[in-house]
Structure 1
Amino acid sequence: MDPVEQMRENWRRKAKEVGKNFVAPRASEIDARGEFSWEIVEEFARHGFLRLLIPKQYGGEEGDITSFCIIVEELARYCASSALLVVVQAVGTMPVALGGSEELKERVLPHLAKKKGLICFCLTEPEFGSDAASIRTKAILEGDSYRINGRKCFITNGGVSDFYTVFTTTQPDRRIEGITGFVIEKGTPGLSVGKIEEKMGIRGSNTAEVILDDVRVPIRQRIGEEGVGWWLMMRTLNRSRPAIGAMAVGVAQGAIDYLIQYGQQRDWFVKKEVPSPSLLEIVEMMVEVEASRAIVYKSAQMMDEKAKGIPVQMFSAMAKYFASDIAMKVTTNAVQMLHWEGLTARHPLERMMRDAKVIQIFEGTNQIQRAVVAHTLLKGK
């Protein structure tokens, strides 16, 4: 096994152990209480999951996108809320790592890597949802700082983060070429947290409104030059969407694992028919999950290999929407197979079904992902 594959297998082993021994026993309670778990933060930080994509020179692990997906998938088998913590930390970090100045990297990345700091990604706004090009949060340059005003909504970890990666418009008339990113620290005057959302699924993640009211941000906290924010967003989301797909794969795989365990305990598969109808239904689910897994890791590999001349954004979008659609299908069918038992909180399947629905919507709805694929296909022709 070459060193890269060995590294990835080490991450898989570690994530599998943490998922089974630490996350799984807490998953039901995390969902029932709907509260952010600082215990999970401590455990994930201890194992390096929250500094995975930070370069080693700043105290990180310098892992690759495939390792990122592996960790998320293994954790999501037991608890999607917990797996999302790894994703959000990476998404908030990537714009800084990809486009920040050396001064900004030195200020932010070591804090995240060594002090268990959290960071979130602030893009979605009340009026425009997934239409990232229509950002209304404004940043106006005044001397050596920017004055920022606006609202962000449905921000994962928005109420618990130490740093906020915030995307604004500095030149509204230029649309995507006028988008600029900033890093804002918790406690900055004018930065506040509004409504905390009560969600149907992934209830253990903190989802909040972030309010920016005359927030003063020094130029040194700008991520790159003015107007490069759109490209930083796209580079970030192209890398994170395979991980969202991996989360969906993990949820679906967790549902199948539970079905098999449940069925074996009740002799579902000991029938005159060989194989039993129940087992055949699970086989169909497994084929679709493996297809999801294949496209997720194909898109991750493209990112790691920095493939040239290939529309990586199309495969990234495909991975997200296909895997989450399959997760929704698999978990719904799994609940159905348990009949009325599947509706109860005694079994994790109804939680997995609710989580799968959220995955179809966040990080760009599946409708948006299909539009990305369609646009890429037409552009290619």
Structure 2
Amino acid sequence: MTGLTHEERDLLAPVERAPVLERTLDWAAVNSGTANLDGLATMADKLASAFSALPGEVRLVEPGKVEKVDGEGKPRALPHGRHLVVSVRPEAARRVILTGHMDTVYASDHPFQTCDWLDENTLHGPGTADMKGGLSLMLEGLLAYERGAPTLGYDVMINADEETGSLSSNALIAQLAKGKLAALTYEPALPDGSMARARPGSGNYAVVIRGKSAHAGRNPQDGRNALVAASDLALRLAALVRDGLTVNPARIEGGAPNNTVPDLAILHFNMRPRTPELAESAQRLVDAAFAEVAREHEVTVHAHGGVSRPPKPISTETEALYGLVSKAAGDLGQAMRWNDTGGVCDGNNIAACGVPVLDTMGALGGAIHSPDEFLLADSLDARARLTALVLHRLDRHGLALQD
């Protein structure tokens, strides 16, 4: 580990893998799928207990209200778990935010529930990389940073709904991100150490189309077929795909018996614009498609949802943060590469607040969102050291890149 000062070496020396791994295994044993409110409550209690080792206030924040369109086309309240917030030195002139999520994509009845070792360094298990390991190493890095006479203030925000778009925590993220010097988010990096740069935006929509029922044989001309209108809309949306914009019609609900003209259909689709400008123009095109389908099919079209993850371009301040982290990783002997990605995360929402963010500070791993998910155990203590060193250098030098 070349390039480290004596102070930095002393700061990082106590970091060990064993406690980070122990917590990761304990937390991965808890099923905390986004809809598993009991599992999320258990996970929140474990996190609150563990993060109470930091010199700050720990609190659990109630989720914001979220609605989801049901099979009848009606919006219904959707319950969520509480979010964890830890505030350390709130009076500090310079503050940062560190974020992660306690939820996973694995439902309470999913068969993938336990961990096992594929080899001495590869831990296979649900949520190990995404992101129980990331939460554990974040805490270890913060504990190490606190041993070095810190002056930087920070908030830790661990939400319970990142995997479904952070709809109940978006307002909390924006509130905590405001005015921060920088942000670190603990999504997993790739096994080779690759980190995410720019990300597109993402929006999920449920479009409720209501027509008019009629007998399919006696008077079909009196009906207005909502299913046909939804299919036409799906084709129009798919035709909007271009460089920098993807639109994915994913599912149509509704229909009626074969002898009835269906009067209800619900089209679900996802849209991912690469830039803020594309997000605005794409929304205009989507709205135009809604209006055209409503007019031509004589149906009503009501859309729920929108772009909840704004595009994350790279600012000058973000480049400075990437440079600082790259140098810190190099001084620690850690490989680091940078790639634009098609995925989205809470880093998108933080960047939209004007805060430079690096959102793949978590464990190295792969096959996330699948029963093959794994993490590399040797990245746990390595990334904990990186967290501590980055915070220490932000404390001492701000975003100025050291030679």
Bigger helix share: 1
TM normalised by structure 1 equals 0.28
Q: Rg larger in 1 or in 2? A: 2
Q: Larger relative contact order (C-alpha < 8 A, sep ≥ 6)? A: 2
Bigger strand share: 2
